[in-house]
Amino acid sequence: MSADGSGGRVLPARSGDPARVGPYRIIGRLGAGGMGTVHAGLDADGSRVAVKVVHAVFAEDAEFRARFRREVELSSRVTGPWLVPVLAADPDADAPWLATAYVAGLTLHEHLARFGPLTGGTLYAFAAGTAHALAAVHRSGVMHRDVKPQNVILAPGGPRMLDFGIAHAAEGTAVTRTGVVSGTPGWISPEHYRTGASGFEGDVFAWGALVAHAATGRLVFGTGAPDAIAYRVMSERPDLEGVPADLREVVEQALAKRPEERISAADAAEAATRLLAGQVTTVLPPGTVLEPTRVGELVCSEWGVPPLDDPAWRLLSRSRSRVLLAVLAAVIVVAGGAGMSSLLRPAGPADAAKPRTPATSPQSPVAPTVVPAHTSTAAASTPPSMDRRAARPPQDPLAGVDRPAFTRHDDGSQPHPEEWRNSTTARTRTEKDTARAVQHLVTTILATKDMDFMRPTVTFNERAQTVMVTGGPVSTLTDDYKEVFRRASDMAACVTLAHQLKNNPTTWPYGRFIIGWKDDEQAPQATFLGYGQATDGCYNEIAGTWQGDEEGLATAGRASSDTSEIRVASTTVKGVNSGWRRRLAEGHGLEPFAADDAVSLGFDPVENAAYVWARDPDGALLGRAQRSHFRDVVATNVCENLMSEYSANSAWPYTRWSIALYQGNAAFPEIIASGDCLPAP
């Protein structure tokens, strides 16, 4: 349940995310994992916390709850300067959760992917800090049992270890009992592979692999099939080429095949600290025991990881509480505000293949013409209109309604698998119309990406007041396909249900939705991709202003199959390049981009937005003035071309735009500006 995947940054909350968990106000996401979702939260004093909420499928397992409660109690006892402490937890909540202090920084996994191995004093400080963290865990009588790169954050003041013990609350429960060894291949000890034994020595083994991985960027037992990795762990020597000789000696002791031959965490901490002291020419007499304060001084003196601050904490904390500040608007429009990370590097629209014009284009449908949900199916009903340029759905469709039929608008609980299993196909005419509207909007959104084969099934659970949108069964699709399906289904369900709630507030009971995917027709239930409520708004906004984000950018980066999109993208990119050359010639102190093809454009059909991204390895847009010039050039050309097509093509939906930069050699972009070419109503 680490926050790995967010790049150390807070991401916008998704529709359906809770507004509060326990005493904490939720303002966004930090990531997700197999056990649940990690939310960005604030306590009453405004301090930042990471709130980990368990998936409903685990919460239904009584054995899991018992283990989770025990692990929380044990982990709460563990303290130390290199650990991320547990602040609060509620194992008995409908969705069990725990909160830890938020630590800004990349995980080791993310740092290695971006910047490569740790070197010099930073490597020795990493080894010492993590060893002391593990020793503190063991002194408290707790085993970590999940030491791996995703569970170590490289904070400004040194490494921080998290998730000690928590991830293994699920082991052996009905949810995970599959007859296979639990854990992450490459971070499992030989004895655990052989007998299932899990002890302090297994943590030390994983620590040795962790330090070697930090030093080389390689996995010490290689990659490949899990059984091949298991064989190497049990039978072959680890690959330690590139680990400094003095540190390698300690790592080899940690990676001994027999647990009784391994160094202890406390001895590893002492040995690593002496090696670190040698990096700063500090000579320690034999037998010297360093106090934690002195160890901290040594680690900080050699630590070479820069601080990572994320302005999205400030922006999102305001947007979730609906506070509109003039200074925030200035940051969004001029400075670009939060630098969100993208999990996918976009490809340009020129990569599109087999251009075609789909019969329909993605748009939000006009509010369907409906009859009360309990009216006889024999009653006449007009299918929902599919005007693809309808007005945006209402932000709060039940405002001013005394007794709405949908009563769960204040319910922030996660969906349960039973709700999906008990759903049925549409029965009334209104449900059938709604199902058609959702299906139509999903497929038209996906059509421009050549993904309209992912036609969903729509079912209803009136008791849960929830609509289920389920894709599949297709077992060969990668996660990036499923993510676009989730976004399209989320938008289609939210838009359609919001209109129904607005037009029929006292008779229409459905306001929640679940997005799922089935890889196999025989699967007993779908895998949950997301959920939300149509009463929370359907678009990504900060302080009431639409904002592009990394999810939209990733979708825009997928090649388009719509000839109109390809034509408008090509024309707009040419216009931006021409406009930038004119600015250069006017003598504003601007620099040209390093490559002629630095600027690209793609479309996100989910939120009807065009994304422009630029690769800037030489820092042509490093300063605020340079970015302001580029924003003006992009906004002028994008709006001119979007609105020209909007006037000539009644099926054209795109009016929004967003700009992203890849600065220097960064693999992750920064969103610097967003806007809408249509004036506000």
What's the chain's Rg over C-alpha atoms? 27
pLDDT for residue 11: 77
The answer to whether residues 496 and 426 belong to one domain is yes
Q: Which amino acid is at 379?
A: A
Phi, psi at 257, each rounded to 5°: -65, -35
The answer to whether residues 167 and 233 belong to one domain is yes
Q: Is residue 258 part of a domain?
A: yes
Q: Is residue 118 part of a domain?
A: yes
The answer to whether residues 124 and 173 belong to one domain is yes
**Domain limits for position 619:** 335-347+562-676
What's the whole-number mean pLDDT along residues 460-478? 88
Tokens of 663: 């600065």
- List, by residue number, the catalytic residues: 146
The answer to whether residues 122 and 233 belong to one domain is yes
In this predicted structure, the answer to whether residue 548 has a pLDDT above a threshold of 80 is yes
Q: Is residue 392 part of a domain?
A: no
The answer to whether residues 252 and 168 belong to one domain is yes
Question: SS3 of 673, please?
Answer: strand
In this predicted structure, the answer to whether residue 667 has a pLDDT above a threshold of 70 is no
In this predicted structure, the answer to whether residue 245 has a pLDDT above a threshold of 90 is yes
- Residues 553 and 551: their CA atoms lie apart, in Å, by 5
The model's pTM: 0.53
pLDDT tens column, 13-60: 776 788 899 999 998 888 766 577 889 999 887 888 999 888 777 777
The answer to whether residues 505 and 576 belong to one domain is no
pLDDT for residue 681: 61
Using alpha carbons, select from 51, 68, 71, 50 the residue that is nearest to residue 60: 68
pLDDT for residue 163: 66
Q: Is residue 389 part of a domain?
A: no
pLDDT for residue 327: 30
Among the residue ranges 70-74, 244-248, 423-427, the one predicted with the least confidence is 70-74
Using alpha carbons, select from 275, 273, 262, 98 the residue that is nearest to residue 169: 98
- Could you give the number of structural domains in the chain? 3
pLDDT tens column, 252-272: 999 999 999 999 999 999 999
Phi, psi at 334, each rounded to 5°: -95, -50
Other Cβ atoms within 10 Å of 387 Cβ, number: 13
The answer to whether residues 436 and 484 belong to one domain is yes
The answer to whether residues 208 and 128 belong to one domain is yes
pLDDT, averaged across the chain: 79
The answer to whether residues 532 and 665 belong to one domain is no
Q: Is residue 4 part of a domain?
A: no
- CA 361 vs CA 257, 280, 355, 385, 444: distances in Å: 60, 64, 14, 14, 5
pLDDT for residue 183: 58
- Residues 38 and 44: their CA atoms lie apart, in Å, by 19
Q: Is residue 399 part of a domain?
A: no
Among the residue ranges 42-46, 363-367, 470-474, the one predicted with the least confidence is 363-367
How far is C-alpha 634 from the chain's CA centre? Answer: 28
Q: Is residue 448 part of a domain?
A: yes
The answer to whether residues 567 and 534 belong to one domain is no
Determine contact, residues 406/465, Cβ cutoff 8 Å.
Answer: yes
Q: Is residue 200 part of a domain?
A: yes
The answer to whether residues 512 and 610 belong to one domain is no
The answer to whether residues 80 and 121 belong to one domain is yes
